[in-house]
Amino acid sequence: MQKFTTLTGVAAPLEIMNIDTDMIIPKQYLKTIARTGLGKGLFSEMRYKDDGSENPDFVLNKPAYRGAKILVAGDNFGCGSSREHAPWALLDYGILCVIATSFADIFYNNCFKNGILPITVPQADLDKLMDDAKRGANATMTVDLESQEIRGPDGGVVRFEIDPFRKHCLLNGLDDIGLTLQKADGIAAFEARTQAERPWT
């Protein structure tokens, strides 16, 4: 998993509450277990019209936000069914950080397992970040995980809290497999000892 240390990029405002996982990646895109290629389906029911053409009113279709790396969203982001394709789609599109006042638990956990930083902030801080994100091409923010700060385009700083273990994993690019591989020597020693002690198993 790629390390998350400091991220600087355009932040897109998505002022919608209760964005569920079916809105993030609709069910017709769930036929694959590959983590790539899902970016095209991200928010597809809002990004595209019925004829397949782009909806110019959707934020990620606006020129200033096409390369957005950060999403500033409404409350209860990622609710609904527990589909890991949702963070996969965000990641494949290029969004590495989502900021909201709250997240659905399963989606929140899945973000950390896939290298995405979900940040929870109080409503007052979200309102400020949302205003910053509405600046279009000037909506550049820097998310510093080590210092736990979000720096806005005007130099303002918003602090955020994060579980120390999850912070450690993101800073070092450790998903569940990576954490297990840190114990590879101990696992190999255990297997060798077990084989010597119980060769019949």
Q: Give the pLDDT score at 182.
A: 61
Q: Give the pLDDT score at 95.
A: 98
pLDDT digits (tens, 9 = 90+) for 61-96: 999 999 999 999 999 999 998 889 999 999 999 999
Q: pTM value?
A: 0.88
Q: What is the rounded distance in angstroms from the CA atom of residue 125 to the CA atom of residue 154?
A: 14
Q: Are 68 and 42 in contact (CB under 8 A)?
A: no
Average pLDDT over residues 161-176: 92
Residue of higher predicted confidence among 31 and 21: 21
Q: What is the rounded distance in angstroms from the CA atom of residue 99 to the CA atom of residue 73?
A: 6
Q: Which burial class, exposed, middle or buried, applies to 160 when counting CB atoms under 10 A from its CB (0-12, 13-18, 19+)?
A: middle
Q: Take residue 86 and report the two structure tokens written for it.
A: 């949702």
Q: Give the pLDDT score at 198.
A: 80
Q: Where are the domains of the chain?
A: 6-174
- Percent of the chain surpassing pLDDT 70: 91
On the question of pLDDT at 201 being above 80, the answer is no
Q: Give the pLDDT score at 36.
A: 85
On the question of pLDDT at 40 being above 70, the answer is yes
Q: Give the pLDDT score at 195.
A: 76
Confidence category of residue 185, pLDDT binned at 50, 70, 90 = low
Q: Give the pLDDT score at 67.
A: 92
6-174: CATH topology: Aconitase; domain 4 (3.20.19)
Q: Give the pLDDT score at 190.
A: 67
pLDDT digits (tens, 9 = 90+) for 141-166: 999 999 999 999 988 999 999 999 99
Confidence category of residue 31, pLDDT binned at 50, 70, 90 = confident
